[in-house]
């Protein structure tokens, strides 16, 4: 719990810093893009085809920078979660084509989806981006090919702190397992830190795992990483099962109707 608090405070500080910079940066970019647009309009005479191409290239770069600042702003703001009943198997199925394309033909993909999976209580959009991020990390860990498994499962934790600091109860897990380079103990210890990356500049932001950690914790879950250098990595998201009156193991108590009650939001 101490560690989780330290991490949360760090995320808070990084979020504020990032948000401030991204906001100012975005204003400057708006000026640059607007200026380029005007220049392009004055250049419509067609006398300077070459110049037009340079301006287009500058606009493209500025738009890319703007997209990055929007991502950073979204990270800093960490919008309130939209917790709903989510079917993880359906989510994996709906993303399968995108994930296979992201991985490329040199990586074998397989899914082991638990039949009769319980619905999870989670934010669907955040979960989609988490899964994509995990798959991109797995791809980057297997530059020479390999295999990737996506698995879902129903899990009952019978006692407090069996996994992380999670309370006992029902959980749904989503795991991504790769046969890639794995992480050393040192990398593993820093993997959740915002901006920690071992990737070259332009390829990694170091925000993937820290964003996933932040959102899963906020949703009342836990992220577990098992990794062995040279063998591979397994990242498992534990998400609270979505409770309804009828499937509450403790029987129908009147408060069980309030799905958010136990999540300390
Ligand atoms: P990024 O991917 O931008 O570097 P992340 O926060 O997602 O940021 O990951 C942080 C670091 O953790 C990566 O740079 C890499 O060293 C390590 N890592 C994450 N996922 C894996 C994986 N599946 N296999 C090996 N290393 C990984």
Angle between helices 208-218 and 2-42 (to 10 degrees): 120
**Nearest to 240, CA basis, from 139, 157, 129, 146:** 157
C-beta of 129 in contact with ligand 1 (< 6 A): no
The confidence score (pLDDT) of residue 205 equals 78
Give dist(CA 137, CA 142) in Å, integer: 9
Cβ atoms within 10 Å, residue 214: 22
Give dist(CA 18, CA 5) in Å, integer: 20
The confidence score (pLDDT) of residue 47 equals 63
237 SS3 class: strand
- Say how many Å lie between the CA of residue 205 and the centre of ligand 1: 10
Given CA atoms 75, 212, 187, 193 in this order, what sign does their dihedral have?
Answer: positive
C-beta of 199 in contact with ligand 1 (< 6 A): yes
pLDDT mean by block of 10 residues, the chain; 265 residues: 72 75 83 88 73 87 84 70 93 94 92 97 90 94 96 97 95 98 96 90 81 89 97 98 61 39 38
C-beta of 205 in contact with ligand 1 (< 6 A): yes
**Hey, whose CA ends up nearest to atom 21 of ligand 1?**
137
Task: State the first-to-last Cα distance of the chain, in angstroms, to the nearest integer.
Answer: 17
Token representation of residue 195: 């901006």
Residue 208: its H or E element: helix 208-218
Give dist(CA 225, CA 126) in Å, integer: 19
- Between CA 103 and CA 113, with CA 107 as vertex, the angle to 5 degrees is 80
Question: Which position has the token pair 């906020």?
Answer: 218
Model ipTM over 0.95: yes
The confidence score (pLDDT) of residue 178 equals 98
122 phi and psi angles, rounded to 5 deg: -160, 180
The confidence score (pLDDT) of residue 261 equals 38
Give dist(CA 120, CA 170) in Å, integer: 10
**Hey, whose CA ends up nearest to atom 19 of ligand 1?**
137
User: Candidates 191, 192, 225: which one to mutate for ligand 1, based on the most atoms within 8 Å of Cβ?
Assistant: 191
**Hey, whose CA ends up nearest to atom 8 of ligand 1?**
206
The confidence score (pLDDT) of residue 3 equals 72
- Say how many Å lie between the CA of residue 163 and the centre of ligand 1: 22
Residues 6+ apart with CB under 8 A from 173: 151, 152, 153, 155, 236, 237, 238, 239
């Amino acid at each position: 719990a101490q560690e989780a608090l330290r991490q949360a405070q760090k995320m808070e500080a990084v979020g504020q810093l990032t948000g401030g910079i991204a906001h100012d940066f975005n204003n400057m970019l708006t000026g640059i893009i607007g200026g380029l647009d005007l220049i392009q309009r004055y250049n419509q005479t067609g006398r300077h085809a070459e110049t037009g191409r340079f301006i287009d290239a500058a606009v493209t770069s500025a738009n890319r920078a703007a997209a990055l600042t929007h991502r950073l702003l979204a990270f800093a703001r960490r919008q309130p979660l939209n917790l709903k009943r989510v079917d993880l198997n359906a989510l994996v199925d709906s993303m399968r084509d995108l994930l296979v394309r992201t991985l490329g033909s040199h990586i074998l993909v397989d899914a082991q989806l638990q039949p009769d999976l319980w619905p999870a209580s989670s934010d669907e959009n955040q979960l989609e981006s988490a899964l994509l991020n995990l798959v991109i990390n797995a791809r980057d860990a297997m530059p020479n090919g390999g295999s990737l498994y996506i698995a879902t499962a129903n899990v009952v934790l019978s006692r407090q702190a069996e996994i992380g600091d999670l309370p006992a109860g029902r959980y749904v897990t989503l795991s991504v397992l790769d046969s890639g380079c794995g992480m050393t103990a040192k990398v593993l210890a820093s993997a959740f830190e915002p901006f920690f990356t071992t990737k070259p500049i332009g390829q990694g932001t170091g925000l993937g795992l820290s964003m996933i950690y932040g959102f899963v914790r906020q949703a009342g879950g836990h992220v577990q990483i098992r990794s062995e250098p040279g063998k591979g990595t397994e990242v498992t998201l534990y998400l609270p099962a979505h409770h309804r009156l009828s499937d509450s193991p403790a029987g129908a108590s009147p408060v069980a109707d309030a799905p958010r009650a136990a999540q300390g939001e």
